[in-house]
Amino acid sequence: MRTVLRLTRRNLASNRLRFTLTTFAVLLGVSFVVSSFVLTDGLLKTFNNIVEDGNSEIDIEISARSDFAETASFERPIDEALLADVRAVEGVREAEPGAESTRIVPIKHDGQPVDPGLAPVLSFGWTGSDFSALTIEDGVGPSGANEFAMDFSSADRFGLVLGETYDMVGVDGPEPFTLVGTMRFGEENALAGAVLMSFTLDELQRLDDSEGLIGWIDIAVDDDADAAAVIDRLESVLPADIEAVTGAEVIAEDKDEFTVIIDIFGNILLGFGAVAVFVSAFIIYNTFNILLGQRVRQLALLRALGASGAQVRASSLLEALIVGVTASILGLGGGVLLALGLRGVMNSLGFSMPSIDIILSARTVIVALLVGVLITLLAAYSPAKRAATVPPVAAMRVGFRFGSGEGLRRTIIAIVLAALGIAGVGYGLFGGGDGGLVLLLVGLGAVLVFIAVAMFAPLFSSPSASFLGAPLEHIPGRKITGHIARENAARNNKRTASTAAGLMIGMALIAMATVTANSLKATVRASLGSTLIADFLVTAPNGGEMTDRVAGELAALPEFSDVSAVRYGAIRIGGDQKEVTGTDVTLLTSLLDVDVVEGDPAASAGAGTILLTEEVADTLAVTVGDQLVVDFAAAGPQTLTVGAIYRNEFLIGHYVIDLAAWDAYFASTSDNTVAVKAAPGVDLATAAAAFAPLEAAFPQLNFETQDEFSDRWEGALDSLLVIINVFLGLAIIIALLGIANTMALSVLERTREIGLMRAIGMTRRQTKGMIRLEAGVVSLFGAILGVLVGLVFGWVAVVAIPESIIDRLAIPTGTLVAYVVIATIAGLLAASLPARRASRLNVLDAISYE
Amino acid sequence: MTSVGEVAAVVTSDTAAPEVRTMAAEAVGLSKVYGEGNTRVVALDRVDIGFEAQRMTAIMGPSGSGKSTLMHCMAGLDEVTDGEVRIGDTLISDLSDKELTLLRRKRLGFIFQSFNLVPTLTASENIELPLLLGGRQPDSAWEDRVIESLTLTDRLKHRPDELSGGQQQRVAVARALVSRPDIIFADEPTGNLDSRSGDEVLGFLRRAVDEWGQTVVMVTHDARAASYADVVVFLRDGQVVDRIENPTADLVIDRIRALEV
């Protein structure tokens, strides 16, 4: 064993560059896994602290009882009059009303609304009680009309100054409000990008048009009172649809809500980490394989001198183990740094994250070590096994090569893996499993497909490289180096294939994301064009709400003929929560081509009717005239009659009720969208100009034509795609390291050849060019292979996603070509270091290199 | 033992020969020292030597005598520690790596003992490689003549691993000749060949000198190979110790024995 150890150490020491690059590849993968754990743990701890801080003084909270998921929980505010009843209950020491609104937007001095992007603007009623997680940072709390406070980091971010007056837009037009204080939320003011404001309860209700209504009541009980007994007494005075729960339950519920969100975030990071680790595995496998080829004579000599095959294998595996352990330990540190970096990036993007504690839990350390070490050993296993098969006689024979007799076996394994992978993806997508299982099956299936493609790739990598490299021979002044680069890229089919495979994975994922997003854009644009008859859409920022006054005032203008509000909410049918749309059904078919199958939407006005898609009607086995029990959060179960059945759910979903029904069964009467059609004979420019007074009154709203609406929406989707692709870019970076690694090893292997060419007149520049061009050809091959695989994946995704979301495959050819070009150039540049090394070889030493 | 001065005198006395010969390459006070302190090795010790144009010169000497180092320094493959080296009129000891590379490409030809060819290129691509690296078009009439005389015509499309050792060396000879260099350096060109193939290669080099006026400098330890040369120079301990004209194999063997004593 000692000999094996020493041999391993020597090998590592003598190839420091290779060791460094391999380690770095594993390190990057491990770092991402670690950072996802570190961020998740840290965020959970911080948010839990906030929840506990915010609720620590609360013994009991009263709120509306609701079986609806949390999106609909503010649907049913509490009558403020209840407060007096609650305060009168024995044992209640203090009871404070709580209220929240998302409908209030401050306007900056430049006339632009405060827009925190994807995060909301949240307003609260200021009570100044200990219950609130909000404390005053500077100035005072709002105590009268036309006063407000804002969290200090948002005030800073949007340039609002204490003591100055700003226009505030609630359900009515702008009104001047003075910023009297800045607040801090919890200890860290960790708002994840949201803007917090507070007003006196009266002002909040006035701005929100919810006079007399509150969201919840926080209660502290007398020191000697028993909370459970107080709850019993409270329940006796509260209406049946209002419940009282202990502070501990509130904390637990809130924590659960945060945990769900943070887990999603953590899982996304973990997913990127898994991709990184997977690509690293390819690089390790490739490196160990090339190494093996180069060390044949050394290994054979060892065998000739009496080392057993097992010892040779042990030596190789030990080398992998050392790489794995080193990379994992460094990866722990790298992960912490990455977590800090990600937090910094998010902060700079405006998602202010708390200064989270760096929690390196035992689980994180164990997982990091396991992932790093296992993946390295796994990748190195097959090369190590083959190392043990080197016959001793190879020590004497020049040009021993590992047999390719396994070709057939390899092909069979690849076919089996591909079949399993496709089956996994297919079953995952179409088998009807739940979310977690779908992701697992699709993920594992994709991994198998990638491995299968990588195993097939040697069958065509040489001719492909030769084909792709052909243009190199026509570069003026580079003809011969281009020719040699092309030949070299086609020289070793397996090496080219597995080097390109690393790049393929990252490119495939990027191509898939791009194709899917592009198909989504194409679907939406086409659907808008064919479905939306309305000329304009008025929307609130971030899918928020606006007062119904907007629709009312638009309807009064002569420039517009049909104006209908659109509201989104939740209902339950047979216990399942569904999304419902409220709109003026009498105008439905004149604003939207819903493709009516049966019945007449225009005749379905009133509170007693519901409209369904054909799909839903078939599932529920109902037809026009049938009755359906629909459960509303505010109004409880109602029996509605099916008024019409339509086919096209685009923009309005599967369930539609009339605004009259909405007003009857929902607590809120805010609109999400207002669809507007210009009056006959009024051209669009004239109609658009008619928006001016409303635009002035509600500067936060978007008044857009169909095209403007699509453009803005596509812009948001593009931003999301950029973020996804930046993360996937990590996999590309790892693959580029792999290309650098392979080229460095190839340069080492071809030392004599390079020396010879230098001797007979190849300049350093030509040498560098030759190596770079070769890397470029391999990268181009990997990038094209990746895009092809990505196209297939994208196509599968488009087929799997319901037609109501994506109904067509739209391939962004230009973008994909640009990605391939960028990846090729990056591969070219990644080979700079080995190219430099090759050009600096001492000619004489190189010629006599063994 | 002959002193350096005497060798120089012998070289100089050559000018008295019937035809006046110019020097294709020349070294004055050429020293090459490896390492420092305890590990200091003097490979070449103030060597003065010239290689006459249009003649074939063999460099001989025991292992470690400095014969390969001398060739490498003269060919611009190795840096000299001291002294001047000229190829024709060009003082190469001061040239940059790039200038040296271009000089090797345009004005020198090389034949090594083994691994002479780029494995991914065909025989004809290998032959044209120095020209192609310079972006030059081969002179096809000349190239055809070289290839024909080396009987490589039907081997041009083959890769090196499809050629015998003798054929590979002939391709190397063709590559060295095709750019019509000022001087061809051959480092043990027959070291890895059987005697028949070796004779062929040496015969071609001889013809290149006799018929095409080429200049060849060859390092060898094989007396029979040396007998193909016009002049044989003997090195020992980094110094030129002897020189014979129009050698025969026996004469060379005698001199080597004398040196090794």
Residues 183-242 of B with CB under 8 A from A: none
Residue A341 has pLDDT above 70, yes or no: yes
DSSP assignment, residue B138?
P
Q: Indicate the pairing of strand A175-185 with strand A147-151.
A: parallel
User: What is the CB neighbour count within 10 angstroms for residue A829?
Assistant: 17
pLDDT given for residue B4 in this prediction: 38
Single out the residue of A470, A425, A469 nearest to residue A449, CA to CA.
A425
Distance from CA of B6 to the nearest CA of A (A): 32
* Nearest residue in chain B measured CA to CA from A844: B77
Give the type of residue at B107. R
On the 0-12 / 13-18 / 19+ scale of CB atoms within 10 A, B209 is buried
pLDDT given for residue A658 in this prediction: 94
Single out the residue of A202, A795, A739, A809 nearest to residue A520, CA to CA.
A809
Mean pLDDT of A586-590: 89
Q: How confident is the model at residue B7 (pLDDT cuts 50, 70, 90)?
A: very low
Is residue B129 less than 8 Å (CB to CB) from chain A?
Answer: yes
Query: Which span out of A399-403, B7-11, B104-108 was modeled with the highest average pLDDT?
Result: B104-108
CA A637 – CA A635 distance, rounded (Å): 7
Residue B15 has pLDDT above 50, yes or no: no
* Nearest residue in chain B measured CA to CA from A766: B133
User: What is the CB neighbour count within 10 angstroms for residue A839?
Assistant: 21
pLDDT given for residue B17 in this prediction: 46
Please answer yes or no on whether A479 and B110 come within 8 Å at the CB atom: no
H helical segments located in A750-847 = 751-759, 764-800, 813-830, 832-839, 843-847
Single out the residue of A337, A498, A422 nearest to residue A800, CA to CA.
A422
Provide the percentage of residues in chain A whose pLDDT is more than 90. Answer: 28
Output the CA–CA distances (angstroms, integers) from residue A491 to A14, A220, A681, A747, A846, in the order listed: 26, 79, 71, 13, 20
On the 0-12 / 13-18 / 19+ scale of CB atoms within 10 A, A748 is buried
Residue A768 has pLDDT above 90, yes or no: yes
Q: Read off the pLDDT of residues A699-713 as tens digits, 9 standing for 90 and up.
A: 888 899 988 888 888
Q: Higher-confidence residue: A328 or A8? A: A328
A843 CB neighbours in chain B (<8 A) are 77
User: What is the CB neighbour count within 10 angstroms for residue A56?
Assistant: 12
Residue A739 contacts residue A503 (beta carbons within 8 Å): yes
Which SS3 state, helix, strand or coil, does residue A669 take? coil
CA B145 – CA A40 distance, rounded (Å): 76
Mean pLDDT of A733-756: 88
Is residue B104 less than 8 Å (CB to CB) from chain A?
Answer: yes
Lowest mean pLDDT among A139-148, A184-193, B192-201: A184-193
Q: In what order do the strands lie in the sheet with A216-221?
A: A92-98, A216-221, A60-64, A242-246
Return all residues near B11 (Cβ < 8 A) that are at least 6 apart.
Answer: B48, B49, B50, B243
In chain B the first and final C-alpha atoms are separated, in Å, by: 11
Output the DSSP codes for A418-435: HHHHHHHHHHHHHS---H
Single out the residue of A206, A157, A207 nearest to residue A182, CA to CA.
A157
pLDDT given for residue A301 in this prediction: 80
Using CA atoms of A210, A211, A213, A215 in order, give the dihedral in degrees to the nearest 10: 50
B120 CB neighbours in chain A (<8 A) are 484, 487-488, 491
CA A152 – CA A132 distance, rounded (Å): 16
Return all residues near A268 (Cβ < 8 A) that are at least 6 apart.
Answer: none
Give the type of residue at A86. V
- Residue-averaged pLDDT of chain B: 86
- Residue-averaged pLDDT of chain A: 85
Give the type of residue at A811. I
Indicate which of B98, B99, B103, B112 best probes the interface with A, i.e. most A CBs within 10 Å of its own CB.
B112
Mean pLDDT of A355-376: 83
Residue B245 has pLDDT above 50, yes or no: yes
Residue A433 has pLDDT above 70, yes or no: no
Q: In what order do the strands lie in the sheet with B56-60?
A: B108-111, B183-187, B216-219, B56-60, B231-236, B239-245
pLDDT given for residue B182 in this prediction: 92
pLDDT given for residue A203 in this prediction: 92
Residue A822 has pLDDT above 50, yes or no: yes
B116 CB neighbours in chain A (<8 A) are 756
Residues 9-68 of B with CB under 8 A from A: none
ipTM tops the 0.95 cut: no
Residue appearing with tokens 């040779």: A312
A756 CB neighbours in chain B (<8 A) are 112, 115-118
Q: Read off the pLDDT of residues A444-500 as tens digits, 9 standing for 90 and up.
A: 888 899 999 988 888 899 999 999 999 988 888 788 899 999 999 998 888 899 889
Q: Is the dihedral of CA A349, A355, A359, A365 positive or negative?
A: positive
B95 CB neighbours in chain A (<8 A) are none
Is residue B77 less than 8 Å (CB to CB) from chain A?
Answer: yes
Residue A73 has pLDDT above 70, yes or no: no
Provide the percentage of residues in chain A whose pLDDT is more than 70. Answer: 92
CA B205 – CA B227 distance, rounded (Å): 12
Distance from CA of B101 to the nearest CA of A (A): 5
Query: What are A8's two structure tokens?
Result: 């391993």
Q: Read off the pLDDT of residues A612-625 as tens digits, 9 standing for 90 and up.
A: 999 899 999 999 99
B118 CB neighbours in chain A (<8 A) are 484, 753, 756-757
Residue A431 has pLDDT above 90, yes or no: no
Buried residues in A736-746 as b, exposed as e (16+ CB within 10 A): bbbbbbbbbbb
For residue A480, give the nearest of B104, B116, B133 by CB distance: B133
Lowest mean pLDDT among A30-34, A53-57, A554-558: A53-57
Residue A274 contacts residue A78 (beta carbons within 8 Å): no
For residue A479, give the nearest of B115, B118, B132 by CB distance: B132
CA A105 – CA A698 distance, rounded (Å): 9
On the 0-12 / 13-18 / 19+ scale of CB atoms within 10 A, A173 is middle
Using CA atoms of A813, A814, A819, A824 in order, give the dihedral in degrees to the nearest 10: 100
CA A600 – CA A644 distance, rounded (Å): 5
Return all residues near A306 (Cβ < 8 A) that are at least 6 apart.
Answer: none
pLDDT given for residue A401 in this prediction: 60
Beta strand ranges found along chain B (DSSP E): 23-34, 41-52, 56-60, 82-87, 90-91, 108-111, 183-187, 216-219, 231-236, 239-245
Give the type of residue at A697. A
For residue B72, give the nearest of A757, A758, A844 by CB distance: A844
Please answer yes or no on whether B77 and A477 come within 8 Å at the CB atom: no
Q: Higher-confidence residue: A507 or A313? A: A507
Is residue B121 less than 8 Å (CB to CB) from chain A?
Answer: yes
Output the CA–CA distances (angstroms, integers) from residue A155 to A47, A151, A164, A179, A183, in the order listed: 22, 6, 11, 9, 9
User: What is the CB neighbour count within 10 angstroms for residue A506?
Assistant: 28
Output the CA–CA distances (angstroms, integers) from residue A135 to A144, A186, B42, B129, in the order listed: 18, 8, 84, 79
Please answer yes or no on whether B118 and A757 come within 8 Å at the CB atom: yes
* Nearest residue in chain A measured CA to CA from B102: A761
Q: Read off the pLDDT of residues B138-158 as tens digits, 9 standing for 90 and up.
A: 888 889 988 988 889 999 999
Query: What are A465's two structure tokens?
Result: 């490289």
Single out the residue of A584, A553, A542 nearest to residue A695, CA to CA.
A553
Indicate which of A483, A758, A760, A765 best probes the interface with B, i.e. most B CBs within 10 Å of its own CB.
A760
